[in-house]
Amino acid sequence: MSLYAELKFQLLSALTSSKNQIGFRRTEDVTTTTTREDITEEMSGTQVVAGAAVDDVIQFGGVATGKILYLESDQELTFKINGGVDVLKLTPTSGQKAKLMWEGEFTALLVSNAGATDALLTYYVAG
C-alpha cells in the first residue's frame, strides 16, 4: 500500500502584514507543493529530550529509510543524521519553535540537548 504525502512550503518576507514592499518571495505564487506517492510507511511522535542529553535515539518505528523528515523543537537541539557527526542545529527564536522539513534519505537520527532545559521535540518521518 502506498501513502500520499503533500509537502507545502511558503515563505514571504514583507515590511507589513498587508504584504507591502515584499523583500523575498519563494516562488511567483508563493507556494511550492511537492507530492510524494512513493511513501509506504510513516512514523510521527513527540519526545521530551532532557537537558544535557547526548545522542538520544529518535525511533523511526519501522520506517527503514525515511524520505521525508520534519523536526520541530522549543529548545536548541543538535542532530546527527545517518550516524554522522553533528549535522545540524535547530535554534528557536525567543517564544517561537524551530522547524525543519527535509527531503533526503534518513536511516538514523540522534538528538542532543546541550541546554539545562528539557526540550519538546515533535517529529515525522516517512519512507
Is 12 found in the same domain as 23?
Answer: yes
Is 51 found in the same domain as 31?
Answer: no
User: Is the model more confident about 2 or about 101?
Assistant: 101
pLDDT band at residue 39 using 50, 70 and 90 as cut-offs: confident
Is 123 found in the same domain as 87?
Answer: yes
Cell reading at 72: 520541530
* pTM, entire model: 0.79
pLDDT band at residue 85 using 50, 70 and 90 as cut-offs: confident
Strand stretches in 11-65, DSSP E: 12-14, 22-25, 31-39, 42-49, 56-57
Domain range for residue 97? 41-127
DSSP percent split of the chain into helix, strand, coil, nearest 5? 0, 55, 45
